[in-house]
Chains A and B, each alone.
Chain A
Amino acid sequence: MTELLTISGLSISARLADCDLRLLDDVDLAVRRGQIVGVVGESGSGKTTLARSVVGLLEKNVRVDGGSISLAGEQVVAPGVDLTAGVRGGQVGMVFQDASRSLNPLMKVRAHLAEVLHRHVPGIDKDEVRRRSVEVLEQMRITDTARVLDSYPHQLSGGLRQRVAIGLAVVTRPSLVIADECTTALDVTTQTKVVELFRTLVDELGIGLLFVTHDLMLASDLCDEIAVMSSGRVVEQGTALHVLESPEQDYTRRLLAAIPAWN
């Protein structure tokens, strides 16, 4: 399989008033088509910075010190290089943590979808916008598409909103989707459904998925490979089974030990 996303030796730091703070330190990561790669770590481990660096959504005081990010073989991020504007929303779709806040409260679902389609599909007409909007919602396993299209975000349930947010990320048929803690705000049942949805989407559309979460168990359920991050470094990387069954790093063992046991 071809490499879709290649992150190699990526180092990123934030310039603060009195010092530089290393956010990512020599991170290597790859995602292939049809593959789900989980990035797991506690708050502040750098996993969100990693996710956002791929689409160029870093704060103004953050800069790339070394390494690079390539998409399908083309370099998009390197020190002094930022070509992310060209891939944002087109080649790369992103799903954020809390869909109740990541959708514009004053825009209907229909308008959200139309906006992103008009931006990325040159010359698309009204009928095609409508057709693809309905199609993507159906892909999201939404049955009453007409009602959802005509709803404002606040009129939808949390699970439905997150499905719409995922739909918005994939409606432009990207090759890579990045999900940043996108199940955290959902209850466990809805979470399971969203995770299942991701699995089918990856299998059906052949996209690559970078799934960022703090939930190691959830990641091991969903992901083919897992990278465990701590203090801006990838401390352990391998197949989900390998990371879970025979962790080589003390940090991973402690993460696993932190999961409450049932018996």
Chain B
Amino acid sequence: MKATTLRRIGARVATLLASLLIALTMAFALGRLSGDPTATILGPMALPEQREALRHQLGLDQPLLVQYFDYLKGVFTGDLGDSLQFYQSNTTMILDRLPFTLQLVAAGMSLAILIGIPLGVLAATREGTWWDRGASTLALLGQSVPVFWLGMMLVVLFAVKLGWLPAGQSGSLKHLILPAVTMALYPMAHIARLTRASMSDALREPFIDSARARGISTTRVVWRHGFKNAMMPILTIIVLQTGVLMSGAVAIEYVYSWPGLGQLALQSIQFRDFPLVQAIVVFAAVIFVLLNLVVDLLHSVVDPRVR
């Protein structure tokens, strides 16, 4: 690797660490803004002394700045505090739920990519035809249908009426189908629209004509010359969408009682379990920062001009 490349990556890492710090600070501040958790935990009948004791136990009687630095120290050593409702380490709970969410996101994203990219390429290579209009309508529809509604409709059709697939919970491949399809729809539509736009720009480039003039086959012109040049924005959106799904599949996990991070987040919010909420937000922020770094690295792998 060249020195300029290293310097560029170094600068990116520095920016990402700065944005991570801002995200961590905001997560901390939001946790403190949501009121005194001791009231929720101990109930309305608790004595002031009991609440004071709990505040001391949770470290809430410390000055804010001390709490903040304790929290940062915890984050960087992998200790995200303990949950107020489950009496467990937040880190352990997040790591327990993570495989379920990863499984769902991997299935949903693969589906979205496998359908979205060919759909977008089809539309771009047949611009202005009925293929194009059909694909674009499908993509628009996919982006406008609310996931919770789609999820419930799929359950009604495939689980209740036809009885082909289970309505919820996890376990087998059959359990994965409905939530994965539901999850795939929005990113599929997004990927298809972006692929179409990016591809139709790429196919207008002069190097496409010159490749055709050299007698290169249409398939090769479309994929090797067109798609490879159209790929960067598509890759970016795939990686960032993965981040969104990993931390935000709340509605889907709720509809299908899928035991992933989204459910955990919902439970923590309902209980005002602020250490857990904060831990999940921190986790999501770290995921986003890492994925952004992945996008950057991918960019320099794909395009020699930014190396």
Contact = CB atoms under 8 A, between A and B. Distances in A.
Interaction A to B? yes
Interface of A: 55, 57, 85, 88-90, 93-94, 96-98, 101-106, 115-116, 119-120, 152, 154, 165, 168-169
A251 to B, nearest CB: 29
Interface centre among B210, B211, B217, B302, by most chain A C-beta atoms within 10 angstroms, is B210
B207 A94 contact: no
A96 B209 contact: yes
A97 B206 CA distance: 9
Contacts of B302: 106
A98 B205 CA distance: 11
B210 A120 contact: no
Interface in B210-224: 210-217, 220, 224
A209 B217 CA distance: 25
Contacts of B224: 115
B196 interface: no
A105 B228 CA distance: 10
A89 B228 contact: no
Contact of A57 (B205, B213, B228): B213
A103 B210 contact: yes
Nearest to A88: B215
B216 A55 contact: no
Given A96-B209, A98-B206, A101-B206, 13 more contacts: A55-B213, A57-B212, A85-B215, A88-B213, A94-B213, A96-B206, A101-B205, A102-B209, A103-B210, A105-B303, A106-B303, A115-B214, A169-B214
Given A101-B205, A106-B304, A152-B304, A88 B214 contact: yes
B305 interface: yes
B258 to A, nearest CB: 40
Contacts of A152: 304-305
B193 interface: no
Contacts, number: 67
Contact of A90 (B206, B209, B215): B215
Contacts of A103: 207, 210
Given A152-B304, A154-B304, A154-B305, A102 B206 contact: yes
Interface in B222-274: 224-225, 228-229
Contacts of A98: 206
Per DSSP, are chain B's interface residues mostly helix, strand or loop, or mixed?
helix
B305 A101 contact: no
A94 B210 contact: yes
A105 B305 contact: yes
Can you list the 3 inter-chain pairs with the closest CB atoms, starting with the nearest?
A89-B215, A89-B214, A102-B210
Nearest to B302: A106
Contact of B207 (A85, A89, A93, A105): A105
A90 B217 CA distance: 13
Contact of A96 (B210, B215, B304, B305): B210
Contacts of A169: 214
A217 B275 CA distance: 79
Nearest to B215: A89
Contacts of B305: 105, 152, 154
Contacts of B207: 101-105
Contacts of A85: 215
Contacts of A94: 210, 213-214
B211 A104 contact: yes
20 contacts: A57-B213, A88-B212, A89-B214, A89-B215, A96-B206, A97-B206, A101-B205, A103-B207, A103-B210, A104-B211, A104-B229, A105-B207, A105-B304, A106-B229, A115-B214, A115-B220, A115-B224, A152-B304, A154-B305, A165-B210
Given A101-B205, A152-B304, A106 B216 contact: no
B216 A115 contact: yes
Interface centre among A90, A94, A104, A120, by most chain B C-beta atoms within 10 angstroms, is A104
A55 B212 CA distance: 9
A70 to B, nearest CB: 19
A94 B214 CA distance: 7
A93 B213 CA distance: 7
A57 B302 CA distance: 29
Contacts of B217: 119
Interface string B281-307: 000000000000000000000111100
A98 B225 CA distance: 17
A116 B215 contact: yes
B211 A120 contact: no
